[in-house]
Amino acid sequence: MIEKNHMATYAVIGDPIDHSLSPNIHSAAFRELNLEHSYIAYRIPKGELEEGIEALKKIKIAGFNVTIPHKVEMMKFLDKTDESCSIIGAVNTVTNDNGTLKGYNTDMDGFLDPIKKKEIQIKGRKILLLGAGGAARAIVAGFAKEHAASITIANRTLENAKKLAMFSEQVGLKSKYVKIDEVGGTAKDYDIIVNATSVGLKNEPSPISLEGISSNTIVYDIIYMPMNTDFLKKAKEKGAKIIFGYEMLLGQAVRAFEIWHGMEAPYNAMKRALLGGV
């Protein structure tokens, strides 16, 4: 644990890394709590992870976040992992205790955070998850933990959807899988719809039709830039309750802060910093 008056350096590693919002968010938290820490973005290209970690250890990095493309490979370089990390099979937050690296995965808690803040009930709900990539496994684990009734995984590649559906069954959540273009007009049959695909990053049209959904439907897009994807715009037009991708990003950052510092994160200061950069 870092003492409050001790200067420490934190980082986010990945490639590309220039557009990461993490330095702004964590720096705002340090300012708010008068912590003498710094947070840097550190580019480590694919294939250079081992050397990059050694360099971070040399500067006695106190902790770091891990983003694309290192979230799975980083698992090999950890001395310890927490349960979320082991279940999801990927790491995005690391503590460095005198050279001992412990990994955590804040994707699940980050994803669930805005749902809990809005007091939305997951238990017994039917879920439609679009996408079976990076964050999807953590999202499935989160829905399983909160006892959703069932999940349908819709993906471009059926093979990946099938693998994720098998994982879902392993963690106790009833599942089925379909190709994303087979969703058709069935969105209205679900209580919660989550977009975990990259469709929307470049302002593309919504990956599915939201015809028939209502004000009782919760629609969540994990893309945070742009903030208002076509998927969310269509959901708003139907009067659905929406959750923005930045809310998950903020939930992840708050959880990482609490892992590193053992104190409550200044949520509002971090939110202001994040929305300034979105």
For residue range 29-63, what is the model confidence (pLDDT) as tens digits? 999 999 999 999 999 999 999 999 999 999 999 99
Per-residue pLDDT for 104 more than 50? Answer: yes
CA–CA separation, 75 and 250 (whole Å):
23
- Residue 147, pLDDT > 70, answer yes
Given this model, what pLDDT does residue 278 score?
Answer: 61
Region class of 184: left (phi > 0), else alpha (psi between -120 and 50), else beta: left
230 exposure class (CB count in 10 Å sphere: 0-12, 13-18, 19+)? middle
pLDDT at 5 over 60: no
- By DSSP bridging, strand 241-243 and strand 126-130 are unpaired
Determine the pLDDT at residue 12: 98
SS3 84: helix
For residue 13, tell me if it sits in a domain: yes
**pLDDT tens per residue across span 61-101:** 999 999 989 999 999 999 999 999 999 999 999 999 999 99
Q: How far apart are CA 92 and CA 188, in angstroms?
A: 34
SS3 102: strand
* Type of residue at 265: A
Number of domains in the chain: 2
- Whether residues 85 and 185 fall in one domain: no
pLDDT at site 6: 76
Asked if the structure places residue 42 within a domain, the reply is: yes
Q: Of all helices (H) and strands (E), which one includes residue 230?
A: helix 230-237
Res 1 pLDDT > 90:
no
Same domain, 120 and 37: no
Output the furthest CA–CA distance in the chain (Å, rounded).
57
Both 145 and 221 in a single domain? yes
Do residues 29 and 80 share a domain? yes
Q: What is the CATH number of the domain that holds 132?
A: 3.40.50.720
3-state helix, strand, coil in the chain (%, to 5): 40, 20, 40
138, 165 in Cβ contact below 8 A? Answer: no
Same domain, 123 and 236: yes
Q: How confident is the model at residue 28 (pLDDT cuts 50, 70, 90)?
A: very high
Considering the domain boundaries, does residue 1 fall inside one?
A: no
Q: Look up the domain containing 56 and give its range.
A: 9-105+250-277
- 86 and 145 share a domain? no
Q: Which structure tokens are listed for 222?
A: 């994990």
Are residues 176 and 259 located together in one domain of the fold?
no
Average pLDDT of the chain to the nearest whole number: 95
- pTM metric for this prediction: 0.93
Torsion on CA atoms 45, 140, 142, 218, rounded to nearest 10: 110
> Do 123 and 230 share a domain, yes or no?
yes
Residues 167 and 96 occupy one common structural domain: no
Q: Is 3 a member of any domain?
A: no
Question: Does 2 reside within a domain?
Answer: no
- Tell me, what CATH number does 38's domain have? 3.40.50.10860
Lowest mean pLDDT among 42-51, 105-114, 269-278: 269-278
Amino acid letter, 59: I
> Which residues form the catalytic set?
71
Q: What is the pLDDT of residues 167-184, one digit of tens each?
A: 999 999 999 999 999 999
Is 261 contained in some domain? yes
Question: Does residue 138 have a pLDDT over 80?
Answer: yes
Please check whether residue 4 lies inside any domain of the structure: no
Kindly state whether residues 178 and 217 are assigned to the same domain.
yes
Same domain, 70 and 149: no
Residue 2 has pLDDT above 80, yes or no: no
Same-domain pairing of 82 and 125: no
**DSSP bridge partners of 11:** 40, 64
- Whether residue 30 lies inside any domain: the answer is yes
